[in-house]
Structure 1
Amino acid sequence: MKNSRLKSIYNETFSGLKLFYRDTNLTDSLISNYKVGQIIHEKGFTDMSSLNGGLSGNCRYIIASAHAKDLSIFNPDSAKIGHFLLDTIAYFKVLDIQTIDDKTQIFLLNIPDNSLTLFKNSSSNLEEEITEEARDSFINKRNNLLIPELQTKDWKEKTKTPIGMDDTGEMFFDDSKIKIESPKRIEINMTKKTIEVNKKPWWKIW
Protein backbone atom coordinates (compact mmCIF):
# COMPACT_ATOMS: atom_id res chain seq x y z
CA MET A 1 0.00 0.00 0.00
CA LYS A 2 1.32 3.43 -0.94
CA ASN A 3 2.43 5.77 1.81
CA SER A 4 -0.16 8.35 0.74
CA ARG A 5 -2.92 5.77 1.07
CA LEU A 6 -1.73 4.82 4.56
CA LYS A 7 -1.75 8.46 5.62
CA SER A 8 -5.29 8.89 4.33
CA ILE A 9 -6.59 5.84 6.20
CA TYR A 10 -4.88 6.71 9.48
CA ASN A 11 -6.03 10.31 9.26
CA GLU A 12 -9.60 9.12 8.74
CA THR A 13 -9.31 6.71 11.69
CA PHE A 14 -7.38 8.70 14.30
CA SER A 15 -7.82 12.43 13.61
CA GLY A 16 -10.26 13.76 16.19
CA LEU A 17 -10.45 10.39 17.96
CA LYS A 18 -12.51 10.27 21.17
CA LEU A 19 -13.42 7.54 23.65
CA PHE A 20 -17.00 6.47 24.33
CA TYR A 21 -18.60 3.99 26.73
CA ARG A 22 -21.41 1.46 26.59
CA ASP A 23 -22.24 -0.84 29.52
CA THR A 24 -24.38 -3.96 29.42
CA ASN A 25 -24.69 -7.48 30.80
CA LEU A 26 -23.40 -10.31 28.62
CA THR A 27 -23.05 -14.03 29.23
CA ASP A 28 -19.59 -15.57 29.30
CA SER A 29 -20.36 -17.36 26.03
CA LEU A 30 -21.07 -14.08 24.25
CA ILE A 31 -17.96 -12.40 25.66
CA SER A 32 -15.83 -15.36 24.57
CA ASN A 33 -16.73 -14.67 20.92
CA TYR A 34 -14.45 -11.62 20.95
CA LYS A 35 -10.74 -12.07 20.19
CA VAL A 36 -7.98 -9.46 20.21
CA GLY A 37 -7.16 -8.47 16.62
CA GLN A 38 -10.58 -9.53 15.34
CA ILE A 39 -12.52 -7.35 12.89
CA ILE A 40 -16.23 -7.12 13.70
CA HIS A 41 -19.19 -5.49 12.01
CA GLU A 42 -22.24 -3.95 13.66
CA LYS A 43 -25.35 -3.81 11.48
CA GLY A 44 -27.43 -1.55 13.70
CA PHE A 45 -26.86 1.88 15.18
CA THR A 46 -24.31 1.98 18.02
CA ASP A 47 -25.51 4.07 20.95
CA MET A 48 -22.79 5.12 23.39
CA SER A 49 -21.97 7.79 25.95
CA SER A 50 -19.08 10.18 26.41
CA LEU A 51 -19.63 9.93 30.20
CA ASN A 52 -17.25 7.60 32.01
CA GLY A 53 -18.35 6.37 35.42
CA GLY A 54 -18.48 3.02 37.16
CA LEU A 55 -19.64 -0.06 35.26
CA SER A 56 -23.40 -0.55 35.42
CA GLY A 57 -23.20 -4.11 34.09
CA ASN A 58 -20.68 -6.92 33.89
CA CYS A 59 -19.33 -5.75 30.52
CA ARG A 60 -18.15 -2.41 29.18
CA TYR A 61 -17.47 -1.57 25.58
CA ILE A 62 -15.02 1.29 25.32
CA ILE A 63 -15.15 2.56 21.76
CA ALA A 64 -12.56 4.78 20.10
CA SER A 65 -14.06 6.66 17.17
CA ALA A 66 -13.50 9.83 15.18
CA HIS A 67 -16.91 9.65 13.51
CA ALA A 68 -19.51 9.53 16.27
CA LYS A 69 -22.47 11.90 15.93
CA ASP A 70 -23.26 14.14 18.90
CA LEU A 71 -27.02 13.83 19.31
CA SER A 72 -27.23 16.82 21.63
CA ILE A 73 -27.13 18.91 18.46
CA PHE A 74 -30.61 17.58 17.67
CA ASN A 75 -31.90 16.93 21.18
CA PRO A 76 -30.69 19.01 24.15
CA ASP A 77 -31.70 16.22 26.55
CA SER A 78 -29.05 14.00 24.94
CA ALA A 79 -26.36 16.21 26.46
CA LYS A 80 -27.35 14.93 29.92
CA ILE A 81 -26.28 11.41 28.99
CA GLY A 82 -23.46 12.36 26.60
CA HIS A 83 -25.33 10.53 23.85
CA PHE A 84 -23.31 9.80 20.70
CA LEU A 85 -24.23 7.53 17.83
CA LEU A 86 -22.44 5.57 15.12
CA ASP A 87 -24.32 4.84 11.92
CA THR A 88 -25.23 1.36 10.78
CA ILE A 89 -22.66 -0.83 9.05
CA ALA A 90 -19.85 0.21 11.39
CA TYR A 91 -16.64 -1.82 11.51
CA PHE A 92 -14.35 -2.22 14.52
CA LYS A 93 -11.04 -3.81 15.40
CA VAL A 94 -10.93 -5.49 18.81
CA LEU A 95 -7.85 -3.94 20.40
CA ASP A 96 -8.06 -5.37 23.90
CA ILE A 97 -10.11 -7.54 26.26
CA GLN A 98 -9.55 -7.12 29.97
CA THR A 99 -11.27 -8.91 32.85
CA ILE A 100 -10.94 -8.02 36.53
CA ASP A 101 -13.01 -9.99 39.03
CA ASP A 102 -16.46 -10.32 37.43
CA LYS A 103 -16.15 -7.34 35.07
CA THR A 104 -14.88 -7.30 31.49
CA GLN A 105 -13.92 -4.43 29.21
CA ILE A 106 -13.82 -4.86 25.43
CA PHE A 107 -11.92 -2.12 23.60
CA LEU A 108 -13.05 -1.42 20.03
CA LEU A 109 -11.48 0.85 17.43
CA ASN A 110 -13.91 2.18 14.81
CA ILE A 111 -12.22 1.69 11.41
CA PRO A 112 -13.14 2.61 7.81
CA ASP A 113 -14.90 -0.11 5.84
CA ASN A 114 -12.26 0.11 3.11
CA SER A 115 -9.35 -0.67 5.46
CA LEU A 116 -10.25 -4.07 6.92
CA THR A 117 -7.27 -5.88 5.40
CA LEU A 118 -4.84 -3.22 6.63
CA PHE A 119 -6.07 -3.28 10.24
CA LYS A 120 -6.34 -7.07 10.30
CA ASN A 121 -2.72 -7.48 9.19
CA SER A 122 -1.04 -4.62 11.03
CA SER A 123 -0.68 -2.92 14.38
CA SER A 124 0.56 0.56 15.19
CA ASN A 125 1.98 2.61 18.00
CA LEU A 126 -1.31 4.55 18.07
CA GLU A 127 -3.28 1.39 18.78
CA GLU A 128 -0.87 0.49 21.57
CA GLU A 129 -1.09 3.93 23.17
CA ILE A 130 -4.88 4.18 23.18
CA THR A 131 -5.06 0.61 24.49
CA GLU A 132 -2.99 1.63 27.50
CA GLU A 133 -5.33 4.56 28.12
CA ALA A 134 -8.36 2.26 27.91
CA ARG A 135 -6.79 -0.20 30.36
CA ASP A 136 -6.01 2.57 32.84
CA SER A 137 -9.59 3.81 32.58
CA PHE A 138 -10.95 0.35 33.37
CA ILE A 139 -8.62 -0.21 36.30
CA ASN A 140 -9.28 3.19 37.85
CA LYS A 141 -13.00 3.70 37.17
CA ARG A 142 -14.71 0.30 37.04
CA ASN A 143 -15.83 0.55 40.67
CA ASN A 144 -16.63 4.27 40.68
CA LEU A 145 -20.13 5.51 41.43
CA LEU A 146 -22.64 4.91 38.66
CA ILE A 147 -23.79 7.87 36.58
CA PRO A 148 -27.53 8.17 37.41
CA GLU A 149 -28.46 9.52 33.98
CA LEU A 150 -27.20 6.27 32.41
CA GLN A 151 -29.34 4.01 34.62
CA THR A 152 -32.69 4.78 33.00
CA LYS A 153 -34.81 2.06 31.42
CA ASP A 154 -34.61 3.84 28.05
CA TRP A 155 -30.79 4.00 28.01
CA LYS A 156 -30.38 0.43 29.19
CA GLU A 157 -32.72 -0.70 26.41
CA LYS A 158 -30.61 1.16 23.81
CA THR A 159 -27.36 -0.41 25.02
CA LYS A 160 -28.34 -3.92 26.10
CA THR A 161 -27.42 -5.81 22.92
CA PRO A 162 -23.92 -7.09 22.12
CA ILE A 163 -21.94 -5.31 19.41
CA GLY A 164 -21.10 -7.26 16.25
CA MET A 165 -23.32 -10.27 16.95
CA ASP A 166 -26.92 -11.20 17.60
CA ASP A 167 -28.30 -12.31 20.94
CA THR A 168 -27.44 -15.95 20.19
CA GLY A 169 -23.76 -15.14 19.56
CA GLU A 170 -23.78 -15.37 15.76
CA MET A 171 -21.28 -12.85 14.42
CA PHE A 172 -22.47 -10.47 11.72
CA PHE A 173 -19.08 -10.65 9.98
CA ASP A 174 -16.62 -13.51 9.51
CA ASP A 175 -13.18 -11.93 9.62
CA SER A 176 -11.56 -15.22 8.59
CA LYS A 177 -12.51 -14.17 5.05
CA ILE A 178 -9.98 -11.32 5.23
CA LYS A 179 -6.78 -12.17 3.40
CA ILE A 180 -3.97 -12.84 5.86
CA GLU A 181 -0.62 -11.26 5.03
CA SER A 182 2.67 -10.89 6.86
CA PRO A 183 1.94 -8.90 10.04
CA LYS A 184 3.23 -5.33 9.97
CA ARG A 185 3.88 -2.83 12.73
CA ILE A 186 3.45 0.75 11.60
CA GLU A 187 5.00 3.71 13.39
CA ILE A 188 2.93 6.85 13.06
CA ASN A 189 3.73 10.44 13.89
CA MET A 190 0.46 12.27 14.38
CA THR A 191 -0.18 15.97 14.80
CA LYS A 192 -3.53 17.70 14.91
CA LYS A 193 -3.49 18.33 11.17
CA THR A 194 -1.76 15.36 9.63
CA ILE A 195 -0.20 11.94 10.04
CA GLU A 196 3.26 10.84 9.01
CA VAL A 197 4.02 7.15 8.60
CA ASN A 198 7.25 5.41 9.70
CA LYS A 199 8.60 8.32 11.70
CA LYS A 200 9.04 8.97 15.42
CA PRO A 201 5.61 8.39 17.00
CA TRP A 202 3.54 11.04 18.66
CA TRP A 203 -0.16 10.96 19.42
CA LYS A 204 -2.86 12.65 21.42
CA ILE A 205 -6.64 12.48 21.72
CA TRP A 206 -8.32 15.82 21.14
Structure 2
Amino acid sequence: MKIKVDSVMYEKFEDLANDTFPGLTMYVRDVDLDPICFAKYKPGIILREKAFTDASNRVMGMMTTHRIAILSNHMSDLREFEHGTNWGLFVANR
Protein backbone atom coordinates (compact mmCIF):
# COMPACT_ATOMS: atom_id res chain seq x y z
CA MET A 1 0.00 0.00 0.00
CA LYS A 2 1.39 3.39 -0.98
CA ILE A 3 0.64 6.50 1.05
CA LYS A 4 0.83 9.86 -0.65
CA VAL A 5 2.68 12.35 1.57
CA ASP A 6 2.14 16.05 0.98
CA SER A 7 4.63 18.73 2.03
CA VAL A 8 2.69 19.64 5.21
CA MET A 9 2.59 16.02 6.36
CA TYR A 10 6.29 15.63 5.54
CA GLU A 11 7.18 18.74 7.57
CA LYS A 12 5.15 17.47 10.55
CA PHE A 13 6.89 14.11 10.36
CA GLU A 14 10.29 15.80 10.13
CA ASP A 15 9.49 18.00 13.16
CA LEU A 16 8.36 14.95 15.13
CA ALA A 17 11.54 13.05 14.23
CA ASN A 18 13.74 16.03 15.19
CA ASP A 19 11.94 16.39 18.53
CA THR A 20 12.10 12.65 19.24
CA PHE A 21 15.65 12.05 18.03
CA PRO A 22 17.67 15.27 18.35
CA GLY A 23 20.84 15.25 16.25
CA LEU A 24 19.69 12.33 14.10
CA THR A 25 21.90 12.17 10.99
CA MET A 26 22.04 9.81 8.03
CA TYR A 27 25.23 7.90 7.25
CA VAL A 28 25.89 5.11 4.77
CA ARG A 29 27.78 1.83 4.83
CA ASP A 30 28.56 0.20 1.49
CA VAL A 31 28.91 -3.57 1.56
CA ASP A 32 29.21 -6.55 -0.78
CA LEU A 33 26.47 -9.04 0.11
CA ASP A 34 26.24 -12.46 -1.47
CA PRO A 35 22.78 -13.38 -2.84
CA ILE A 36 21.96 -15.69 0.10
CA CYS A 37 22.68 -12.98 2.66
CA PHE A 38 20.89 -10.32 0.61
CA ALA A 39 17.76 -12.50 0.38
CA LYS A 40 17.32 -12.15 4.17
CA TYR A 41 16.77 -8.39 3.93
CA LYS A 42 13.40 -6.86 3.14
CA PRO A 43 12.62 -3.19 2.37
CA GLY A 44 11.96 -1.21 5.52
CA ILE A 45 13.64 -3.67 7.89
CA ILE A 46 15.40 -2.07 10.85
CA LEU A 47 18.69 -3.55 12.01
CA ARG A 48 20.45 -2.83 15.28
CA GLU A 49 24.18 -3.45 15.60
CA LYS A 50 25.48 -3.70 19.16
CA ALA A 51 29.16 -3.54 18.17
CA PHE A 52 31.27 -0.73 16.73
CA THR A 53 30.16 0.17 13.21
CA ASP A 54 31.98 2.45 10.79
CA ALA A 55 30.10 4.52 8.26
CA SER A 56 30.48 7.57 6.05
CA ASN A 57 28.68 10.87 5.77
CA ARG A 58 29.72 11.04 2.10
CA VAL A 59 27.05 9.65 -0.20
CA MET A 60 28.70 9.26 -3.59
CA GLY A 61 29.05 6.53 -6.19
CA MET A 62 28.92 2.94 -5.00
CA MET A 63 31.72 0.48 -5.61
CA THR A 64 29.90 -2.33 -3.80
CA THR A 65 26.74 -4.32 -4.42
CA HIS A 66 24.62 -2.79 -1.64
CA ARG A 67 24.28 0.32 0.53
CA ILE A 68 22.90 0.42 4.06
CA ALA A 69 21.43 3.70 5.33
CA ILE A 70 22.27 4.34 8.99
CA LEU A 71 20.28 6.82 11.04
CA SER A 72 22.07 7.69 14.27
CA ASN A 73 22.69 10.41 16.81
CA HIS A 74 25.51 8.43 18.45
CA MET A 75 28.33 8.62 15.88
CA SER A 76 31.87 9.76 16.66
CA ASP A 77 33.57 11.92 14.05
CA LEU A 78 36.93 10.36 13.12
CA ARG A 79 37.62 12.37 9.97
CA GLU A 80 40.75 13.92 11.52
CA PHE A 81 42.40 10.46 11.45
CA GLU A 82 41.78 9.77 7.74
CA HIS A 83 45.16 11.07 6.49
CA GLY A 84 43.96 12.24 3.09
CA THR A 85 41.47 9.48 2.27
CA ASN A 86 38.48 11.86 2.51
CA TRP A 87 36.08 9.01 3.41
CA GLY A 88 33.97 11.01 5.88
CA LEU A 89 34.70 8.41 8.58
CA PHE A 90 32.32 8.12 11.52
CA VAL A 91 32.01 5.28 14.05
CA ALA A 92 29.00 4.26 16.14
CA ASN A 93 30.37 3.87 19.62
CA ARG A 94 27.39 2.15 21.19
Percent identical residues: 35
Q: Do 1:67 and 1:86's aligned partners in 2 also have CA atoms closer than 8 Å?
A: yes
Partner of 1:35: 42
The CA deviation string for residues 46-100 of structure 1, in whole angstroms up to 9 with x for no partner, is 1111111111111011212222110135x25377210001124xxxxxxxxxxxx
Say which one has the larger Rg: 1
Amino acid corresponding to residue 79 of structure 2 in structure 1: S
Secondary structure at the counterpart of residue 30 of structure 1 = helix
Cα separation, 2, equivalents of 1:59 and 1:19? 16
Amino acid corresponding to residue 14 of structure 1 in structure 2: F
Kindly report which structure 2 residues correspond to 1:95-174, keeping only aligned pairs within 5 A, or say none: none
Matched, 1:57 2:57: no
Change in Cα spacing, 1:13 to 1:60, as seen in structure 2 (3 Å) is farther
Q: How many residue pairs are counted as aligned between the two chains?
A: 78
The CA deviation string for residues 23-52 of structure 1, in whole angstroms up to 9 with x for no partner, is 111012212212345443323211111111
Structure whose residues are more often helix by fraction:
1
Amino acid corresponding to residue 77 of structure 1 in structure 2: H
Q: Greater RCO between the two (CA within 8 Å, min separation 6)? A: 2
Secondary structure at the counterpart of residue 30 of structure 2 = strand
TM-score, normalised by the number of residues in structure 2: 0.64
Gaps in structure 1 of 5+ consecutive residues: 1-9, 89-206
Matched, 1:48 2:61: no
TM-score, normalised by the number of residues in structure 1: 0.32
Match of 2:31 among 13, 24, 33: 24
Q: Do 1:47 and 1:85's aligned partners in 2 also have CA atoms closer than 8 Å?
A: yes
Cα separation, 1, equivalents of 2:69 and 2:78? 18
The CA deviation string for residues 133-180 of structure 1, in whole angstroms up to 9 with x for no partner, is xxxxxxxxxxxxxxxxxxxxxxxxxxxxxxxxxxxxxxxxxxxxxxxx
Kindly report which structure 2 residues correspond to 1:82-101, keeping only aligned pairs within 5 A, or say none: 82-88=88-94
Amino acid corresponding to residue 49 of structure 1 in structure 2: S
Gaps in structure 2 of 5+ consecutive residues: 1-16
Q: Do 2:29 and 2:55's aligned partners in 1 also have CA atoms closer than 8 Å?
A: yes
TM superposition outliers: structure 1 runs of 4+ over 4 Å? 10-13
Amino acid corresponding to residue 17 of structure 1 in structure 2: L
Secondary structure at the counterpart of residue 86 of structure 2 = helix
Q: Do 2:56 and 2:88's aligned partners in 1 also have CA atoms closer than 8 Å?
A: yes
